[in-house]
A and B are shown apart, each in its own frame.
Chain A
Amino acid sequence: MAVIEVSNITKTFRIPQERKTQLKEYFVNPFKKNTYKEFKALDDVSFSIEKGEFVGIIGRNGSGKSTLLKIISGIFLPNKGYVKTDGNVIPFLELGVGFNMELTAKENIFLNGVILGMSRSSLQSKYKDIINFAELEGFENTQLKNFSSGMQVRLAFSIAMQAKGDIYILDEVLAVGDMNFQQKCFNTFRKLKKEGKTIVFVSHSMGAVEEFCDRVILLDHGKIQDEGDAFDVVRYYSEMSLKNGENTSINKVSKGEGIVSVKALNLKLEESSSFNMGDYIKLRINYSFKGNIKNPIFEVNLYRNDGLCVASLNTQDSEVEINQINGNSFIDLNIDNINFFAGSYNVSVILFSEDFSTEISFLENACSFEIFSQKERQSGVVEILGKWEEK
């Protein structure tokens, strides 16, 4: 018996180029037409899911996975086709939906729980379990803004676990949290699977997909590319990604090619390994390639010596477009005001081909530097500039 039936779904988004979002604009320029670019997120997608099945949906970024989940969950309407679901659908497109930082843990349990479709009375009876499972005894009446992000995630997950439905829609829930938390997630999945619940699961973690899914659907550019046994589809997908990577970027990088070195320079453009907080730092990334690399993306990750990733920057998010690179050259990352607290840090650099499709070169611990600071009472990771205001 099919509990989810997706029939010939097409979803087109109109991405506004110049959309009027203010009434004012209608008065100022009433005859200017809104211009849109059409983007087909899903193109004639059909499949059905049987009761008790654990189905994975995989595909590259932008292949339409999230849109599909939103349509199954009833958040978006398809342009064509329909979705029929039989049973109570619980979407977990995000953990902690509706969490309010100003409310206490207790208040958030009720708010979030009710949003997930639980009743107040059932939350009342499960309240102790939720608190215990999240290991938050004694923090019930603390405002959420005073929780660490780990505590928030634990709370969110522990509420979500109590939601009782027939169909679960899971989107990248595993992306957050540490190993321990991921194990908890997996255990919950196993339990749900044992109970015969129907689960639709979107993930980039191929290991998890292979372990849990009975069947996998591979989406590419809004179409179903492949569907079937988890192992086969995942292997097909990996091969496809590899091939795609080769098409868009370069031939395999040979020895001696790639990111050669990274240097930390000070204001006088001298190499240095010690800086004061607030100093200017220029990270010069030297590379060497024999062939051309089209539309590359540089990513710089800054780690504290205990392994914490303090910051990650890439040229795509910074909206820096690099057409192509070749030969021996360098790219600079200028940091005007390094606001890390005192400590030692190291830098890793990754070079990706277009759209992060393949990793071309990776240089770990490429350089390290020390930050000094005069301020004594400091703890934390980075300085944020807050303004004090007396009452």
Chain B
Amino acid sequence: MTKNDKDLLFEFVKTDFTLRYNNSILGFLWAVLKPLLMFSVMYFVFSFFMGNTIKYYSLYLLIGIFMYNFFQEVTTNGLNSLLQKKDIILKVNFKRYLAVIGSTLIAGINLGFNLLVSVIFFAFNHLLPTPQGILFFLVSIIILYILALGIAFFISILHVKFRDLQHIWEILMLIFFYLTPIVYPISIIKGKFSLIIYANPLTHILTFGRNVLIYGKFSSVLSTFIILISSLLLLLLGVLFFQKNIKKIAEEF
């Protein structure tokens, strides 16, 4: 990546950031409010059933929602990135993958704001994550990002060809929210159903991240490591797929 590419990426992210936060005082609030509202509803409904089975259920739910929200934002922004920048793409020749990466970085900033809010919840529960816990939590976020970015490279191209993909993606995201142990503990799932839950890579990343941050214990380490490797592979394939198709796709905008 040359210096100019970095400048371009910086401007893309700055634009997203300005539009989202600067232009309305509520910008920051909205970014935090959406997942918090989701948390409140979920907590209200599910804490009756889960409250006793999971220690620190509020944190369990909150961090789960934040992580899932991050994954959803990265993939959805990536999905829309090419069509959103089509005016630039049809007029100037820059490295197209920067459009995809640029659109996903704002999700990281949003996650940062969300995590700042979570500090309050930790304090409320009289809990202090260990430095090691925080570090490995960040590792889980990076793995999540690699996975999401790999997917984003595929679907950004496909979205140009299939314009209804965003609706399909929205529904998929809703389905996966419940196929990932966010509101419920993984132990609650028994029988045939557990296979689907375990096959979902998000299950392992979220479990790993949440366990190190909240409970200070390592779990799903091996599966998370396997997911890291396969996510890197997916990202590589995604980039290759993207580079192979992007030049041809300019005509279909």
Give A residues with C-beta under 8 Å from B.
13, 21-24, 70, 73-77, 89, 91, 93-94, 97-98, 100, 102-103, 107, 110-111, 114-120
Kindly report which residue of chain B lies nearest to residue A171, judged by CB atoms: B91
Give B residues with C-beta under 8 Å from A.
3-4, 7-8, 10-11, 14-15, 18-19, 23, 85, 87-94, 161-165, 168, 247-248, 250-251
Given contacts A110-B11, A119-B7, contact A23 B88 (CB under 8 A): no
Given contacts A22-B162, A75-B250, A89-B93, contact A103 B18 (CB under 8 A): yes
Shortest Cβ gap from A117 to chain B (Å): 6
Kindly report which residue of chain A lies nearest to residue B90, judged by CB atoms: A75
For the complex, what is the distance from the CA of A102 to the CA of B20, rounded to whole Å? 11
Contact A103 B4 (CB under 8 A): no
Shortest Cβ gap from B9 to chain A (Å): 9
For the complex, what is the distance from the CA of A111 to the CA of B19, rounded to whole Å? 13
Given contacts A75-B250, A117-B4, contact A107 B18 (CB under 8 A): yes
Contact B7 A97 (CB under 8 A): no
Contact A23 B91 (CB under 8 A): no
Q: What DSSP secondary structure best describes chain A's contact surface?
A: loop
Shortest Cβ gap from B168 to chain A (Å): 6
For the complex, what is the distance from the CA of A100 to the CA of B14, rounded to whole Å? 12
Q: CB-CB < 8 A to A114: which residues of B?
A: 4, 7-8, 10-11
Contact B88 A120 (CB under 8 A): no
For the complex, what is the distance from the CA of A23 to the CA of B159, rounded to whole Å? 10
Q: CB-CB < 8 A to A70: which residues of B?
A: 90
Shortest Cβ gap from A285 to chain B (Å): 37
For the complex, what is the distance from the CA of A365 to the CA of B239, rounded to whole Å? 60
Contact A13 B92 (CB under 8 A): no
Between B8, B14, B91, B250, the greatest number of chain A beta carbons within 10 A of the residue's beta carbon is seen for B91
Given contacts A21-B161, A115-B8, A120-B7, contact A73 B19 (CB under 8 A): no
For the complex, what is the distance from the CA of A73 to the CA of B93, rounded to whole Å? 7
Q: CB-CB < 8 A to B19: which residues of A?
A: 100, 102-103
Contact A93 B93 (CB under 8 A): no
Q: Which of B14, B85, B94, B250 contacts A76 (CB 8 A)?
A: B250
Return the 3 tightest CB-CB contacts between A and B, nearest first: A74-B93, A22-B164, A97-B91
Contact A115 B15 (CB under 8 A): no
Q: CB-CB < 8 A to B251: which residues of A?
A: 13, 76
For the complex, what is the distance from the CA of A114 to the CA of B3, rounded to whole Å? 11
For the complex, what is the distance from the CA of A24 to the CA of B161, rounded to whole Å? 12
Contact B93 A115 (CB under 8 A): no
Given contacts A107-B15, A115-B8, A119-B3, contact A23 B92 (CB under 8 A): no
For the complex, what is the distance from the CA of A102 to the CA of B162, rounded to whole Å? 29
Between B7, B87, B164, the greatest number of chain A beta carbons within 10 A of the residue's beta carbon is seen for B7
Kindly report which residue of chain B lies nearest to residue A24, judged by CB atoms: B164
For the complex, what is the distance from the CA of A107 to the CA of B11, rounded to whole Å? 9
Given contacts A76-B250, A76-B251, A119-B7, contact A22 B91 (CB under 8 A): no
User: Can you offer 19 A-B residue contacts whose CB atoms are under 8 A?
Assistant: A21-B161, A73-B93, A74-B93, A75-B90, A76-B247, A77-B247, A91-B91, A91-B92, A93-B92, A94-B91, A100-B19, A103-B15, A103-B19, A115-B8, A115-B94, A117-B94, A118-B4, A119-B4, A119-B7
For the complex, what is the distance from the CA of A91 to the CA of B93, rounded to whole Å? 8
Between A24, A77, A114, the greatest number of chain B beta carbons within 10 A of the residue's beta carbon is seen for A114
